[in-house]
Every structure is written in C-alpha cells, then in structure tokens.
Chains A and B, each alone.
Chain A
Amino acid sequence: MHLLVQIPFLAQLVTEEARLQHQYEFLSYGLTAAWVILAVYVLMMVGRERKLKREIAGLRAMLEEKHGE
C-alpha cells in the first residue's frame, strides 16, 4: 500500500477518498444529531401524553367515586 501511494495518480486517489470519507463522517454526525434531538423531544412528548392520560383517568375515577358516595 505504502509503495502504491508513491505513484502520483494513486496517491491522489487515496487522498480524495480520505477527504470524502472525512466529509461524509461530518455530514452523518450533523444529520444524526438533528434526528436524535427531534426524536428525543418526540419521545418526551409521548411520555408526557401517557402521564396526562393516566392522570385524567385517575381524577375522573376519583370524582365518580366521590359523587357515588
């Protein structure tokens, strides 16, 4: 590999590939970060939705019980 890189054309090819790989790495970091932030927020929202539904059901049941008494 080291010897092959001594050939100018191949050296250029290797450098180009390394540059592309590096850039794709950063692009994927960027996209992953954006998706992860939005996904975490959506998951937080889902959790909150469940908690609210549970709370409403609990309070309604409690009120019905009190009315029954």
Chain B
Amino acid sequence: MAENEQENEQEEVRARSFWSGTITFGLVSIPVELFSANRSQRVSLRMVSEDGTPLARRYFCPKEERELDWDEIVRGYEIEDNKYVVVTDDELEKLAPEKTRDIDLRRFVDAAEIDPIYFERAYYLTPGGNSTKAYRLLAETMEKTHQAGIATFVMRGKEYLVAILADNGIMRAETLRFADEVRSADDVGLPEPEKPKAAAVRKFEKAIAKLVEKKLDEDELTDRSAEKLLKLVARKEKSGEGVVEAPQGAVEPSEGVIDLMEVLKRSLQGNAGSSGSRSSGAKKSSGSKSSGKSQANSSSKSSSSAKKSSGAKKSSGAKKSSGAKKSSAAKKSSAAKKAKKSSGAKKAKKSSGKSTKKAASGKSKSSASSAKTSSGKASGRKAAKSSGSSRSAKSGRKSA
C-alpha cells in the first residue's frame, strides 16, 4: 500500500503547465507550455489518523528532535558517509541556463525509427506566445514529413532527452530514456536464440490467429484494482460503515480543480489566461497550496468522470465547471451530514459543528501537506521558489 501511495504522488495529474520555454528550430523560436498528456486514473487513498483526521507530512531534525520549517531545509548531495555538500536552486539553475529555457531542435529523424523501449512519458506542447503561426508551421511540417525533432533540455533540475512529434496539428514532447539507462537482451544475459521446431511454431501461430482482433477496446485496459476499490467504497458509503466527515478544507475539491482536458483545450486555443496555465499564472499556481491540494482529490474524482470521457471525443470537462461541482458537492455534504447522523455510523466522531467551523476557516494545515508532496516534484525550480512558496517546490522528491 505504501508503495502505491508513493507512485500516486509521483503520477499526479497536473492540470497546469509543467514548464514553459521555447522550442528553437533554426533561428525560429516558438514559445511553448508543457502539459502532461497522461492523467492518473489511479484512485489515491489518504493517510489518516484512527479517527479519520487527514494527516500531514512533516519534516523533523533527528538531532534536535523537533519539527522543521521549510525555510530551515536545504538540499544536499552525499559525498561520503553522512557528509553532505549543500546545493541551492539558484546554483542548479545557473548550471545550464540555455537548457532550462530552450528545447533546441538540431536534429530531425524518422519518427518511426525510435525504439519503443526508449519512450518514457508524454507531454503536450501548447503555443505560449501571442502568435500560433510558428507553432502551426513546425507541427504541420513534422506531421507531413513524419519527422521527430530530437533534443535535450532541463526541467526541474533534471535533464531530459526528448522527441518532439506532431499529431493532429498538436505538438507533443515524448521524453526518452538515455541510451545508458536501458538494457539490451545481451545485457540481461538472455540465451542465444535457438531455431524452434516448425510444428511448435505452427501450433502457436494457430492459437494466435484464433485470438486476433482488429481493434483494441480501451475497456481491455481497465484498472480493475481501482474499480474494485470504488465498488468497496460505494458499498461502505451506502451502509455508512466507516464513513467519517472530513474537515472540509482537506478533502473537498477546491476552485483550483481544473480538468486536464479543459486546460489543454484552452491552452491550445490560446486563452489559457483564466485557467492559470499561462506561464505567469502557472508559476504562481505551481507552488500554491490550494492547487496541490486539489490534485489529491481530482484523481479520485476523475476516476469516474474520466472513464466516461475516455472514448468519447468531445465530452470534455468544460461542461462540468468546477463551480458546478463545488456547489453540488456542498449540497451533498450537508445532506450526507444528516444521513450519517441517523445511520449511526460508528466512526463519525466529528460533530458537524466542528467541521463547519473548519470549512469557514478555509484550508487546514493538513491540506497544505498534500500540496507539499504532490507538487514536490518541482525541485530546483526557481520559478516556484520566487513565487514565495518554496516549501512546496522543494519537497517530495529529493533528487534533481
């Protein structure tokens, strides 16, 4: 379970720009924003106390045995046993100024030539400037010629090898593994290939032919574990068993919840300003506690809504505005409050009065903690730091 949680944190959907910079193509620069092309459907569980209070991750000094504030924490590299060299965000940024800003396409290759073993993660690139002309020009050219641009760039203190591809007029950055990160069959030590018996091959060919289908139904890739969890939760919710009213700030989706699809669509059409995905907005929100918090919830929420939309082309999240969501949730929770009281749920220890107070006071500390860990990938990112929320930017992942 612990392992799952770790991964959830790392795979949180980010409904905002990860990176903004420029693609350079010859002397042409194309300002772009980078968004995840994947959304996590995995349903994430929260860590709570025995009575259902959401817990917060905090940092302690083992020597002084006290909790540390974020500004007392620095990043260090271990040079020998328990001896560290401190490295600052500023230094990391200065190490590769051009690479943190530009994806410089100096080589184009046949896109089909890239071995699948190298592909790691996909990000959509959306036009970041006022004009989409150069963006469209490069996208169209790559798509028509089936070429992919290859480059390296630095994002959040880590260098990425990337293939820029275009599909449906939209550019995508596929991060690739470095050659020295992958193994060959030889490295693994697989035995020399042998010539199989013709009869055995024929038998298998027949078995394969029997199961050939033209298409792949996305249902075939359903996350059954997540489905099981949702079913179990629905069952428990219905019976009222183990249902706890959470402090509202901690679990309820906030206004910051934005569907990734919606953000992408807006950003592609150049009116991303209101969604906070423009570079300036993104920087501000990338460290903000509310946006981080919302993500912990959005993944669970999206598991049901996104499933429906996965096949359908135009069922974006646009219709379900976050405002609507919120109000319905609010209604529901007050109704649920009543229901729970009458059902006599064993663990519904919290009085409703208490939780209302909390709702009024806004974000509780615990919600901030989820922001800390979920947006923690932003290590070494100056933008987040300068926005005054270095706490969330640096935490979580200790690697850069």
Q: Do A and B bind each other?
A: no
Residues of B within 8 A of A (CB): none
Measuring CB to CB, which residues of chain A are less than 8 angstroms from any residue of chain B? none
